[in-house]
DNA sequence: TATGAATGAGATTTCATTCAT
DNA sequence: GATGAATGAAATCTCATTCAT
């Protein structure tokens, strides 16, 4: 669950393998970038900031990455596989549909919380660089498809019909993406600056469930997250 | 803040009145900025791009604006009063709650579509500059409050209870904001690049209505938008 | 005959016309570049050197040129049209073939002497950048063709046959190009560092004449250059 | 300066002897440098390119050379002794002066062809670095002296007088140097990209012979090169 | 007001050389 | 000897802002 594990040991730009020292440096740079992307934002972070934060010389950055985009690329990759991994582990056979939805929302929220740097950076980059807009579309595409499939399944079960499951999935996905961004990165709304995890999760789950089932969610059992 | 206090015809920074020529130049610059913010994005638009597009000399920009932020400031102001104006004109006393919601969503969608430049710029700027994040929070705050008030009203009518109307309002607002951004600015999702107006509006209205009423929306009558 | 006249008033990168002030600045930068290319060489001259020498700010360079290559491009253009102009003025109907050749060689030598900066820079650049190698080939191509035509004319007059006039023209051209470079730029041979104009011209003319006519040149009359 | 004093097997900078492994590494680096100087040019070749091409680690370069100049220094040395060697082997007592000249030119051409990397690098370096300009002057100095001596001998034989044999030698040397560079390195003239060996050699020999003897060369016998 | 040239503080990127392992 | 990561001094280019005309 630490942000630094997983796929990010990575490789230098040219595909060569790294020495132990190299692995350490690369990790230090990624960690520094993550930290800065979160605190100052992707666009406002200079390469020099990253190397300074990592305690490395400016030039060392280029031993491991061709440019700032490549750092984000790497982080986005890790972010996606992390979420994918967590979602795969999820128990989707739960008796209660609401629990399935809540678990799903919960995984998404906590992934975003643990990777707020990545989330912030990807969001930003998607607005600055069309290449990243495309990348971000791809990353979220699986999630959209799964939601749409769920909506369709509910329709085929004869429960509630949705005239355009993909559009609805896009709306629900947008809700989750931006709600997470607002509360985890941007610092909340005008008169409230943060949300407890369970409130955030319940809120998203509620919107999600009601949208799909057009009915009230079951009364809550005792607390979770 | 009267809706027509002359802000958008604009005044120079020092409060002096503009000559007719000045009014024209200022408008040309704003129009150019709008166009560029939409096509290349706020961050990727340089002052020189704006003046070139406007057919003015670089230096003229500074006759009317202190910097790019001020241009956006102005556009945001106009954007907000425009939406506010349209929402005020709205008939909220409609017999059918679904129609109220659909009208509201419809106004939001078409405002965003007609002001995609502003939307794009505000969104982007809110991610680059904390000052604009705050500004954007304020702009959307009224809408959030109204939604929350609506949810509360429904609860008080004894229909459906919502444990945290503000949080839900934030979720619904996030859905609308980002859904509009995705489909009007970013170019849609991975496998669909645009949405007809009525589909977009129906989709948002559906999510909105179901979330608030925890029930299916009424079956659509013929023709819309 | 000053290096700064002619085509080099030029235009800024984007084709816009320059103000009087702009014309002055651009000329100052070109003059500075010319001076530095000659004294330190093209490759060893930094943009900052040029602007410093011209008494301008670093950034001003980019108002007039996209990069160093473009400066040279401009200088090469001027150089070529200058030589072309001088050659066109030449009297080729002289009774004495030797005089024609000597005049031609003389024009070439003095053009190179007056434009040693350009010569040095073009030579250097042609070795560093394939694009300039091509450019330089094109520049000298006319001269080669004229020489070849001359050789062919001599052959058709039944005087001396040359099995490959183009190859010979290339050899004579190479001789002139590099001889000029050696004596005007590089500082001569191991044991002699400069050559009086008339010696240089006589030498090249001799090689040229003897190669074409396979006979001794006429005995020199008095005074020349 | 015996032709085989071991220079090209080389010694490390400090005079220590190399191990067998060291000899192999040094040779690999020289070969890689040769190859790259030829294909990308001296200035465009980085140390890292050389070590990569040689399959060695970057740092290993500095075990054998202090810098890139030293590599070229070494190659220039080899180049010169190679040409000197070939010229010494030449039969200068041939009955026919034209054959002497043709042999000489032929040796020069084939030396340049077999050492095009060295030729390219020396030429380039002589334009970038005054130290190499000097070096290159020295290298070619012997050749110039020999040519001048030949011209003088012809004059003393009462055949043709040359007012400045050294200048003429410089012109003929320039012709050969640059003609070889143009056709062996730069890729020819605008409308022809290569020359068969015998055409190149005949052409240079023709210019050379006619310049020295101010008379047509003897009609060619069969077979050459 | 309008103009567009001038400025210079950044930011990125490259690469020769050093050095710890 | 061999390795390749680390270094940091350049150099290039950008662009918001100022200012003389």
pLDDT in tens, A91-139: 777 778 999 999 999 999 999 999 999 999 999 999 999 989 998 999 8
User: Could you tell me the CATH number of the domain that includes residue C200?
Assistant: 1.10.357.10
Both A79 and A150 in a single domain?
Answer: yes
Q: Is residue C219 part of a domain?
A: no
Q: Is residue C109 part of a domain?
A: yes
Separation between the CA of C4 and the C1’ of F16 (whole angstroms) = 33
> What integer pLDDT is reported at residue B9 of this predicted model?
43
Q: Is residue D10 part of a domain?
A: no
Contacts of C202 (CB under 8 A, 6+ apart): C102, C220, C224, D163, D164
Q: pLDDT-based confidence at D176, cuts 50/70/90? A: very high
Both C193 and C140 in a single domain?
Answer: yes
Is there contact between C22 and strand E, defined as CB under 7 Å from any strand atom?
A: yes
Domain boundary residue among C31, C48, C66?
C66
Contacts of B111 (CB under 8 A, 6+ apart): B79, B82, B83, B86
> What integer pLDDT is reported at residue D222 of this predicted model?
58
Q: Does A166 touch chain B (CB under 8 A)?
A: yes
User: Could you tell me the CATH number of the domain that includes residue D51?
Assistant: 1.10.10.60
Separation between the CA of A23 and the C1’ of E21 (whole angstroms) = 15
Q: Is residue C160 part of a domain?
A: yes
Question: Looking at the 3D structure of chain D, how many domains does it have?
Answer: 2
> What integer pLDDT is reported at residue B145 of this predicted model?
94
The residue of chain A with its CA nearest to that of B201 is: A167
pLDDT in tens, C202-224: 999 999 999 999 999 998 665 44
Instruction: Give the separation between CA B103 and CA B101, rounded to whole angstroms.
Output: 5
Q: Is residue A124 part of a domain?
A: yes
| Range with lowest mean pLDDT among A143-152, A213-222, C107-116, D71-80 | A213-222
The most confident of the ranges A164-173, B75-84, D82-91, D97-106 is: A164-173
The answer to whether residue A196 scores a pLDDT higher than 90 is yes
Separation between the CA of A13 and the C1’ of E11 (whole angstroms) = 21
Q: Is residue D224 part of a domain?
A: no
Both D27 and D101 in a single domain?
Answer: no
Instruction: Give the separation between CA C102 and CA C108, rounded to whole angstroms.
Output: 10
Both C124 and C24 in a single domain?
Answer: no
Which residue gives the smallest C-alpha to C1' distance to E19?
D59
> What integer pLDDT is reported at residue A50 of this predicted model?
97
Phi, psi of D104 (to 5 degrees): -60, -50
The answer to whether residue B68 scores a pLDDT higher than 90 is yes
Both B83 and B175 in a single domain?
Answer: yes
The residue of chain A with its CA nearest to that of B217 is: A214
Both D56 and D149 in a single domain?
Answer: no
Q: Which of B123, B163, B174 sits opposite A202 (nearest CB)?
A: B163
* Domain that includes residue D203, residue range: 69-213
Q: Is residue B24 part of a domain?
A: yes
Q: How many CB atoms lie within 10 A of CB D170?
A: 26
- Token pair 């340049």 is found at D112
Q: Are B201 and B105 in contact (CB under 8 A)?
A: yes
Which residue gives the smallest C-alpha to C1' distance to F11?
C46
Both B159 and B204 in a single domain?
Answer: yes
The most confident of the ranges B81-95, B133-147, B161-175, D88-102 is: B161-175
Contacts of A100 (CB under 8 A, 6+ apart): A90, A91, A92, A94
The answer to whether residue A217 scores a pLDDT higher than 60 is yes
Both B58 and B123 in a single domain?
Answer: no
Both B113 and B76 in a single domain?
Answer: yes
The pTM score is 0.87
Q: Which B positions 128-147 lie with beta carbon below 8 A of chain A? A: 128, 133, 137-138, 140-141, 144
Kindly report the average pLDDT of chain B as a whole number.
88
Both A39 and A74 in a single domain?
Answer: no
Q: Does C170 touch chain D (CB under 8 A)?
A: yes
Instruction: Give the separation between CA B93 and CA B213, rounded to whole angstroms.
Output: 17
Mean per-residue pLDDT, D94-111: 90
Domain boundary residue among D66, D88, D122?
D66
Both C141 and C172 in a single domain?
Answer: yes
> What integer pLDDT is reported at residue B15 of this predicted model?
52
Both B85 and B149 in a single domain?
Answer: yes
Domain boundary residue among D11, D38, D66?
D66
Q: Is residue D206 part of a domain?
A: yes
């Amino acid at each position: 669950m630490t942000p630094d594990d997983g796929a990010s040991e990575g490789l230098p730009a040219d595909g060569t393998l790294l020495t132990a020292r190299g692995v350490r440096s690369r990790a230090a740079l990624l960690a520094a970038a993550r930290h800065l992307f979160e605190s100052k934002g992707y666009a406002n972070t200079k390469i020099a900031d990253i190397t300074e934060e990592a305690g490395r010389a400016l030039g060392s950055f280029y031993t491991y990455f061709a440019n700032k985009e490549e750092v984000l690329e790497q982080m986005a990759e890790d972010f996606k596989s992390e979420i994918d991994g967590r979602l795969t582990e999820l128990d989707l056979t739960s008796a209660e549909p609401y629990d399935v939805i809540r678990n799903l929302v919960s995984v998404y929220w906590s992934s975003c919380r643990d990777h707020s740097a990545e989330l912030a950076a990807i969001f930003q980059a998607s607005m600055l660089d069309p290449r990243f807009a495309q990348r971000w579309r791809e990353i979220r595409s699986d999630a959209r498809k799964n939601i749409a499939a769920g909506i369709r399944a509910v329709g085929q079960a004869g429960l509630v019909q949705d005239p355009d499951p993909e559009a609805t999935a896009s709306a629900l996905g947008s809700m989750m993406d931006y709600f997470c961004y607002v509360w985890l990165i941007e610092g909340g709304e005008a008169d409230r600056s943060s949300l407890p995890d369970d409130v955030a999760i319940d809120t998203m789950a509620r919107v999600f469930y009601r949208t799909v089932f057009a009915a009230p969610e079951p009364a809550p059992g005792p607390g979770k997250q």
